[in-house]
Structure 1
Amino acid sequence: MPVTSVENSRPAPTAREGALLAGLDLHKAFGLTHALAGATLDVLPGELVAVLGTSGSGKSTLLHCLAGLTRPDAGTVHYRGEDLWAGSDAARSALRRSEFGFVFQFGQLVPELTLLENTALPLRLNGLRRRAAEQRAGEWLARLDIGELAGKRPGELSGGQGQRAAVARALVTEPSVVFADEPTGALDSLQGERVMGLLSSAARESGAAVVLITHDMRVAAYADREVVVRDGRTADGGRLL
């Protein structure tokens, strides 16, 4: 009589009703290293989800798969009910320019551009005229308390100021989802608290969902829900997903 393994007896993962974004049973290997081994994560509109895990657990790979940056080897990613990876590269690029926003650990601002130009860049790439793009960018810089620094370049700023500019750039297109990968990882605790407070409040005001990668419990405390990634698998509140 064949033996049914515990792994094979697990029910197929499903997304919560009304999920805006969902990655189900995601697998991804880099050579012999299995970064994801059946990870599942969904996000509701306006929800802030913290993804926790040690270095190498697979949390950044999970974010990259959800954001259309890295194609999973198996599993599905759905955004607004559509298979994200069934479309073209051009379609995913368009999503990243308009409906997805990104904040990375070191900001990744363009050093030759001013803060105003950096913040307006996603709008300009979407075809908005310069004056209109920079007006909207200036409004976001002001909302994040760095409007007076609009003419400065990244090299003239503190780390916290640069990260606030990165948050403004992520939100300027009014995205539906913001992906934040260790957004406070390069900051001291005071600056990190400041950036997270601004990110969470600004995202809630704009109605954006946030997928937040962190290993810091103080940062995770800003989230509505915490998901832990361990050995490429996900658990929510101790429940394996």
Structure 2
Amino acid sequence: MTSDAVGQPLLAGINLRKSFGPTPALDGAGLHVRAGEVVAVMGPSGSGKSTLLHCLAGILKPDSGRVLYQGSDLTELSDGQRSELRRTEFGFVFQFGQLVPELTCLENVALPLRLGGVRRREAERRATEWLDRLEVTGVAGKRPGETSGGQGQRVAVARALVTGPKVVFADEPTGALDSLNGERVMDLLVSSAKQTNAAIVLVTHEARVAAYSDREVVVRDGKSREVELAR
């Protein structure tokens, strides 16, 4: 049974706690996101917002609490099952793109499909479509080191969306860009995700980036507080 069938959130973190040694990173934090919704996670450096994202994405396992995705508790899945979920259901955009430097931009975007068993020609066809949507077809044959920061981040967005994920996790996706490139990346990320009804969990400390969201969750000292935005 899917979240839409019962009117429940697509993804929810509930009362999450996570410590690294004696240092608590999350102390009862949580959030929920529905299909097609953009939720911004804000807070000062060290507040726990990236740890919250990593727990929601199944990268980290919380010490306690629950992460529910379409009715399944991610904390009860094996490492392999969580890895499979991240490959097929989730997409990721990081601050510095984290593209594979040895591959061309086209190959980088096609990589998640190839890892999923899609044949090269079909994977590269779909990758080309996404490079076109993100307005960077001109860098398809270049390696990431040969592109500008804004171009590279658009390629990273194309890679995150090429598999048709239901949730995109974006951790400071414009943090390494100037304001003009950052706004264009956010425009393209949000509009592209909306077209496929993908949800976005967006970690940022910038108000101009958070303005793209439908709701904000503020994280401070490992605790979270939801803020309803007036539109």
Q: Structure 2: 5+ residue runs without aligned partners?
A: 1-5
* 2:89 matches 1:99: yes
Which amino acid in 1 is paired with 2:146? E
Q: CA deviation at 1:47?
A: 0.5
Q: Distance in 1 between matches of 2:197 and 2:20?
A: 35
Which amino acid in 2 is paired with 1:236? E
Aligned residue among 170, 176, 188 for 1:186 = 176
Aligned residue among 32, 55, 78 for 1:42 = 32
Secondary structure at the counterpart of residue 234 of structure 1: strand
- Please give the TM-score of this superposition, normalised by the length of structure 2: 0.95
CA RMSD in angstroms comes to 1.1
Report what 1:204 is aligned to: 194
* 2:105 matches 1:115: yes
Q: CA deviation at 1:31?
A: 1.1
- Please give the TM-score of this superposition, normalised by the length of structure 1: 0.91
Report how many aligned residue pairs link the two structures.
223
Greater gyration radius: 1
Report what 1:217 is aligned to: 207
Which amino acid in 1 is paired with 2:155? A
Secondary structure at the counterpart of residue 34 of structure 1: strand
Q: Structure 1: 5+ residue runs without aligned partners?
A: 1-15
Q: Distance in 2 between matches of 1:18 and 1:200?
A: 22
Q: CA deviation at 1:17?
A: 4.4
Aligned residue among 42, 46, 61 for 1:56 = 46
Q: Distance in 2 between matches of 1:40 and 1:85?
A: 14
Report what 1:75 is aligned to: 65
Report what 2:125 is aligned to: 135
Secondary structure at the counterpart of residue 18 of structure 2: strand
Q: Distance in 2 between matches of 1:237 and 1:155?
A: 39
Q: Distance in 1 between matches of 2:104 and 2:120?
A: 14
Q: Distance in 1 between matches of 2:70 and 2:227?
A: 25
Report what 2:3 is aligned to: none
Which amino acid in 2 is paired with 1:31? G
Residue deviations 1:77-121 (CA, integer Å, cap 9, x gap): 010011112111111111111100000000000000000000000
Secondary structure at the counterpart of residue 237 of structure 1: strand
Secondary structure at the counterpart of residue 218 of structure 1: helix
Which amino acid in 1 is paired with 2:96? F
% identical equivalent positions: 69
